[in-house]
Amino acid sequence: MQFRKINLLVVMILALFCVFFRVVDADSGWDSSYDVGGGSWDSGSSWDSGSSWDYSGGGTGVYVSGDDDIVFIIIVIIVVIVIVSSVAKSRRKGNGNFGSVRNKGYNYMDLGADRINDIDSSIDVNELKREAFDIYKNVQEAWMNFDDDALRRYTTDELYNMYSSQLKVLKAKKQKNIMKDIVSKNIKIVDVKIDNGIEKVVIYLEVEQYDYVVNAKDKIVRGVSNRKNNVEYLITLTRSMKDNGIDKCPNCGAPIDIVSGGVCPYCDSTIVNSSNKFVMSKKQCINQRRI
């Protein structure tokens, strides 16, 4: 064909933008994700009437011809390749795709009480499942409320430091990640290991919750507030099997003399002196969908 409409190229570029910007990270630690329901495409975008895509002559768009036609075809091919590659990559990752409607719980088998007690006879399976959901919920609420002490209480130092840094950025942007009405739908204990005095338990957790981000004026900037998300996670809980007491504040290093949870008299940080308490060391979103 001698002439091609450049309008097609515009459509291709817009499709490319949709692929890259359709998914926006959310959830505590930005582990989960959702599409731009809050709308990052506003009326002030660069696609305005004064753009460089000038109209000339009659018809419905700008036309190019001659050698430019070959260049145009090459550009379209490159754009198509990038779009296809991006979509394929997104589907492989899975955790940010709201098009995934199939529950992944079937991939994970519950170990069962007998197998778990063979590894650690002190575990009450039902109690551990309840505790796992409570820890998850407490971390989500601590993230939402910028509750630094609660985050420290329910996470390992490494996870706490990451979450704390991310919350500082969120706070600087004057945004808040709202997560509420969290309901547990399915919990499985899929792995239990004890190595060098450290016990790690991997939990499959399926929840339903509202999850969106608002700005300082309570305007939604990401996600939606009128529909819940169904989210599936693999959560790792960790605890020490050693009976080590705490003799100094892990935050400021001040000497303390306590035998149970309390508050450091020097820096007001919450201190948990309980070596057998599970804390979250990892949280990975493996699937989600809007319901």
The DSSP secondary structure of 6-24, one letter per residue, reads THHHHHHHHHHHHHHHSEE
29 to 7, 151, 160, 255: CA distances (angstroms): 40, 11, 9, 31
Question: pTM (2 decimals)?
Answer: 0.64
Give the distance, in angstroms, between the CA of residue 29 and the centroid of all CA atoms in the same chain.
Answer: 6
Mean of the per-residue pLDDT values of the chain = 76
Per-residue pLDDT band for 46 (boundaries 50, 70, 90) equals: very low
Give the pLDDT score at 78. 80
Strands 262-263 and 270-271: antiparallel
Identify the CATH number of the domain defined by range 105-290: 3.10.450.240
Q: What is the DSSP letter of 60?
A: S
pLDDT surpassing 70 at residue 197? yes
pLDDT surpassing 60 at residue 290? yes
Return the ∠ at Cα 166 (arms to 161 and 171), rounded to 5°. Answer: 125
203-239 residue pLDDT tens: 999 999 999 999 999 999 999 999 999 999 999 999 9
- In three-state form (DSSP H/G/I as H, E/B as E, the rest C), the secondary structure along 212-246 is EEECCCCCEEECCCCCCEEEEEEEEEEEECCCCCC
Dihedral pair phi/psi, residue 74, rounded to 5°: -60, -45
108-163 residue pLDDT tens: 999 999 999 999 999 999 999 999 999 999 999 999 999 999 999 999 999 999 99
Per-residue pLDDT band for 58 (boundaries 50, 70, 90) equals: very low
23-38 residue pLDDT tens: 445 688 777 665 433 3
Helix runs in the chain, H state only? 7-21, 67-93, 113-119, 125-144, 148-154, 157-172
Mean pLDDT across the stretch 80-102? 56
Mean pLDDT across the stretch 97-106? 66
The structural domains of the chain, with segments of one domain joined by +, span 4-93, 105-290
The backbone region for 182, taken as left when phi is positive above 0, alpha when psi lies in -120 to 50, beta otherwise, is beta
